[in-house]
């Protein structure tokens, strides 16, 4: 005889709650066509330490909500999405009964995503393993679908266009930015609303999300007819991007590093003398006195306010690198230490990174300020305001903001809110958020260039860049997928170091070719920025087969200066090509302005996969060789040395015009085109606005 079981499901003011086996599971409408799912052992669910879901709570959705309950099942429907809960019983299992979740498309009944066990005996689909304190190690598993394609999850460096089959860490690292949001070809978007360090695996047998330490499970899922609807819904609940300033769409000049005020100004003046467009010039690290002082070294930068005024008078904005690191010898260290404003360690030496500084004794140990402490954020910003903003600096290069801990042991970090493993992925977003708030308080329309980001960073006007990558073809190829995944993660302001960061030698023909092809890509990227640590000019070009050496200690070279990295630094032939490309970038700025405005309004990525604009191009889910810049330009970067021509598959829906020749191709054609230096394959929709066509025809 079947025993009578108490119904585990209740409707609590429009929120579906299941209490079973000591776990509380809560599903509530959150924005249109979306639900938020939280679970935790115990009587109640909790908020995560940091949440990306800042908007769109249960009272704000416009779509209709319905809850149905029976003794062993329940459902909640919010517009297009339905979450079905069912008490499942498994023979031979360690824990035979559990409540599982299945997400359906409400109007068709089609399964979008469903929980599953990795083995029938266990663990459960939502497995909480107790840890010290009120924290759990969490593993959540879902079905895997053979026909599914997944995009997003931040900025990776694996080069894969499709995340299906990818296993990756959910820990911020240099060049690896974690934004735990993905868009599925099955018609759903999924946000892992958990700042904990962990992993994500999109395997062929299951999908697994893990958190190394967390107070509870929290994720958000939405249903949409296409990627556009899904990304728009994501922006609705996490915040929309501000409008980007017009100047940021131009050309940015940067290198590691300009050492003095005179050197920086002389470079800007030379751009203007040569009649080359320049919108921004960037001051890299070690312009400061010590890490954590957060101020100019007046021996090298004697009058920053005058410098900013002069550069702005010739149409050039200034950006300054600011790190969140604090030296033990900084003038702010004692105040921050005694005020509890620094990250600490759970055990061992109370410092989290060893780095170089402007110190004759070489590398030293440093702390990061604690971005999880609102008082620390306020103090940090007060110093930034006094030493930079009050001098006219509006734009900040927020470097090393993962935070870059060496070695990376977040479980050994103690923050204002608890153990680092529970929240460290959200550090960059909180850091960026306070900068944006501070700029708003001052009435400044500043831009933030950041090496890392988390869910919601886009709402703070953040440009993500690809980090400290190598100057070679393999790393260059990886940047196409990196930019595309960033856009599909909701972060549309993106850029790369043109030419790569490490080991570029301007004296070699091999690097000059790579630089030109990378520059082509940079011109057709959302943000166009030349940067890198170039081999110093005086270091000889290595002979074939010889290892590249810098000729002295690399640490000292970082502190002093790398080689030249201006448009004219690589010989007359390269200069002529890059000059022409800068003309193209300038001509494209009105078009790019429209693209960025659409991103601010709807979340449409400026740099997007082909399928985002052409849903029937199924094969493009695996494509990291082509992309769309806005809705009208198809770009195919040259990704191999010695390339003279390329074959490019064109989407079927339109006729296409080859930008450099004006030749017309039918949709679905394989266009075979020449690609001399400065002319990577670019195609314009024939139906595009006339101004987009004119951006090229006026130059040919």
CATH code of the domain covering residue 576: 3.20.20.80
pLDDT of residue 691: 64
Q: What is the rounded average pLDDT of the residues 297-309? A: 97
The proportion of the chain whose per-residue pLDDT surpasses 70, expressed as a percent, equals 93
Q: Which of 119-123, 235-239, 658-662 has the lowest mean pLDDT?
A: 119-123
Q: Which of 399, 497, 520, 625 is catalytic?
A: 399
Q: What is the pLDDT of residues 477-525, one digit of tens each?
A: 999 999 999 999 999 999 999 999 988 888 899 999 999 999 999 999 9
Is position 117 within any domain?
yes
Looking at the structure, do residues 443 and 495 belong to the same domain, yes or no? Answer: yes
Looking at the structure, do residues 501 and 439 belong to the same domain, yes or no? Answer: yes
Is position 16 within any domain?
yes
Q: Are strands 633-635 and 682-685 parallel, antiparallel or unpaired?
A: antiparallel
Q: What is the pLDDT of residues 513-545, one digit of tens each?
A: 999 999 999 999 999 999 998 887 777 766 777
Is position 431 within any domain?
yes
Q: What is the pLDDT of residues 321-365, one digit of tens each?
A: 999 999 999 999 999 999 999 999 999 887 778 877 876 666 778
Q: Would residue 468 show up in a list of annotated catalytic residues for this protein?
A: yes
Q: Which of 546, 575, 602 is the last residue of a domain?
A: 602
Q: What is the rounded average pLDDT of the residues 565-592? A: 96
Q: Would residue 394 show up in a list of annotated catalytic residues for this protein?
A: no
Looking at the structure, do residues 623 and 491 belong to the same domain, yes or no? Answer: no
Q: Which of 566, 581, 602 is the last residue of a domain?
A: 602
Measured CA to CA, the distance from residue 496 to residue 486 in angstroms comes to 12
Measured CA to CA, the distance from residue 654 to residue 657 in angstroms comes to 10
Under DSSP, is residue 590 helix (H, G, I), strand (E, B) or coil?
helix
Q: Which of 139, 422, 468, 625 is catalytic?
A: 468
Under DSSP, is residue 246 helix (H, G, I), strand (E, B) or coil?
helix
Looking at the structure, do residues 267 and 137 belong to the same domain, yes or no? Answer: no
Is position 93 within any domain?
yes
Q: What is the rounded average pLDDT of the residues 275-290? A: 96
Confidence of residue 700 (pLDDT cuts 50, 70, 90): low
Q: Which of 575, 602, 629 is the last residue of a domain?
A: 602
Could you tell me the CATH number of the domain that includes residue 631? 2.60.40.1180
**Helix boundaries (H) for 560-669:** 572-602, 610-613
Looking at the structure, do residues 194 and 297 belong to the same domain, yes or no? Answer: no
Is position 446 within any domain?
yes
Q: What is the rounded average pLDDT of the residues 446-465? A: 97
The proportion of the chain whose per-residue pLDDT surpasses 90, expressed as a percent, equals 84
Is position 349 within any domain?
no
Evaluate whether 125 touches 100 at the Cβ level (below 8 Å).
yes
Pick from 397, 392, 396, 395: which is nearest to 308 by CA? 392
Looking at the structure, do residues 135 and 284 belong to the same domain, yes or no? Answer: no
Is position 330 within any domain?
no
Looking at the structure, do residues 647 and 531 belong to the same domain, yes or no? Answer: no
Looking at the structure, do residues 495 and 435 belong to the same domain, yes or no? Answer: yes
pLDDT of residue 386: 98
Q: Which of 402, 404, 497, 632 is catalytic?
A: 402
Q: Would residue 402 show up in a list of annotated catalytic residues for this protein?
A: yes
Average pLDDT of the chain to the nearest whole number: 93
Q: Are strands 448-450 and 395-398 parallel, antiparallel or unpaired?
A: parallel
Could you tell me the CATH number of the domain that includes residue 110? 2.60.40.1760
Looking at the structure, do residues 384 and 449 belong to the same domain, yes or no? Answer: yes
pLDDT of residue 306: 98
Distances (CA, A) of 673 to 681, 688, 700: 7, 21, 16
For the cut 90, the answer to whether the pLDDT of residue 193 exceeds it is yes
Looking at the structure, do residues 653 and 504 belong to the same domain, yes or no? Answer: no
Measured CA to CA, the distance from residue 488 to residue 182 in angstroms comes to 7
Which residues span the domain enclosing 214?
9-145+186-238
For the cut 50, the answer to whether the pLDDT of residue 59 exceeds it is no
Is position 345 within any domain?
no
Question: Number of folded domains in the chain?
Answer: 3
Looking at the structure, do residues 660 and 538 belong to the same domain, yes or no? Answer: no
Looking at the structure, do residues 635 and 670 belong to the same domain, yes or no? Answer: yes
């Amino acid at each position: 005889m079947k025993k009578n079981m108490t119904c585990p499901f209740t409707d609590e003011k429009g929120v579906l709650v299941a209490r079973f086996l000591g776990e509380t599971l809560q599903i509530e409408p959150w924005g249109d066509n979306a639900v938020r799912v939280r679970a935790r052992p115990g009587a109640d669910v909790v908020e995560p330490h940091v949440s990306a879901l800042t908007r769109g709570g249960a009272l704000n959705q416009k779509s209709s909500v319905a809850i149905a309950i029976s003794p062993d099942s329940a459902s909640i429907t919010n517009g297009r999405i339905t979450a079905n809960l069912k008490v499942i019983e498994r023979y031979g299992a360690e824990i035979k009964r559990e409540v599982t979740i299945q997400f359906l498309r409400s109007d068709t009944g089609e399964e979008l995503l469903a929980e599953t066990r990795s083995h029938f005996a266990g663990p459960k689909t939502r497995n909480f393993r107790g840890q010290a304190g009120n924290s759990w190690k969490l593993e959540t598993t879902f079905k895997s679908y053979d026909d599914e394609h997944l995009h997003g999850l931040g900025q990776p460096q694996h080069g894969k266009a499709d995340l299906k089959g990818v296993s990756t860490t959910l820990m911020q690292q240099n060049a690896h930015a974690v934004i735990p949001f993905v868009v599925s070809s099955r018609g759903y978007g999924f946000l892992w609303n958990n700042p904990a360090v962990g992993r994500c695996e999109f395997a062929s047998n299951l999908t697994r999300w893990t958190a190394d330490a967390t107070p509870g499970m929290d994720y958000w899922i939405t249903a949409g007819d296409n990627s556009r609807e899904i990304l728009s819904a994501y922006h609705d609940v996490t915040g929309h991007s501000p409008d980007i300033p017009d100047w940021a769409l131009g050309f940015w000049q940067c290198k590691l590093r300009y050492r003095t005020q005179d050197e920086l100004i002389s470079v800007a003046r030379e751009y203007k003398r040569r009649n080359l467009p320049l919108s921004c010039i960037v001051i890299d690290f070690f312009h400061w006195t010590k890490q954590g002082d957060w101020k100019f070294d007046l021996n090298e930068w004697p009058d920053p306010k005058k410098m900013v005024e002069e550069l702005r008078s010739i149409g050039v904005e200034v950006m300054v690198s600011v790190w969140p690191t604090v030296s033990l010898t900084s003038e702010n260290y004692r105040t921050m230490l005694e005020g509890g404003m620094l990250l600490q360690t759970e055990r061992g030496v109370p410092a989290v990174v060893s780095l170089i500084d402007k110190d004759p004794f070489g590398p030293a140990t440093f702390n990061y300020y604690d971005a999880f402490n609102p008082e620390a954020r306020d103090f940090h910003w007060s110093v930034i305001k006094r030493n930079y903003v009050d001098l006219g600096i509006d734009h900040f290069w927020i470097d090393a903001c993962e935070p870059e801990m060496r070695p990376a042991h977040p479980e050994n970090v103690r923050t204002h809110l608890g153990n680092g493993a529970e929240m460290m992925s959200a550090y960059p977003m909180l850091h960026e958020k306070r900068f944006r708030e501070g700029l708003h308080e001052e009435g400044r329309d500043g831009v933030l260039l950041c090496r890392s980001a988390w869910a919601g960073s886009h709402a703070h006007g953040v440009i993500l860049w690809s980090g400290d990558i190598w100057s070679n073809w393999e790393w260059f190829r990886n940047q196409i997928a990196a930019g595309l995944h960033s856009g599909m993660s909701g972060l549309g302001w993106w850029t790369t170091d043109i030419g790569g960061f490490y080991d570029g030698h301007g004296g070699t023909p091999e690097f000059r070719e790579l630089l030109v092809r990378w520059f082509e890509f940079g011109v057709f990227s959302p943000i166009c920025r030349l940067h890198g640590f170039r081999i110093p000019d005086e270091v000889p070009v290595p002979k074939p087969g010889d290892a590249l050496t810098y000729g002295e200690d690399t640490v000292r070279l970082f502190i002093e200066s790398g080689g030249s990295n201006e448009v004219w630094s690589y010989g007359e032939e390269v200069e002529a090509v890059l000059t022409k490309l800068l003309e193209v970038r300038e001509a494209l700025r009105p078009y790019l302005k429209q693209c960025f405005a659409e991103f601010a309004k709807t979340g449409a990525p400026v740099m997007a996969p082909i399928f985002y604009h052409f849903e029937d191009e199924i094969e493009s889910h695996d494509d990291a060789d082509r992309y769309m810049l806005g809705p009208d330009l198809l770009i195919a970067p040259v990704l191999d040395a010695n390339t003279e021509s390329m074959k490019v598959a064109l989407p079927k829906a339109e006729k296409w015009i080859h930008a450099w020749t004006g030749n017309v191709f039918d949709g679905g054609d394989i266009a075979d085109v020449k690609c001399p230096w400065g002319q990577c394959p670019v195609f314009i929709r024939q139906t595009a606005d006339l101004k987009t066509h004119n951006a090229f025809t006026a130059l040919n």
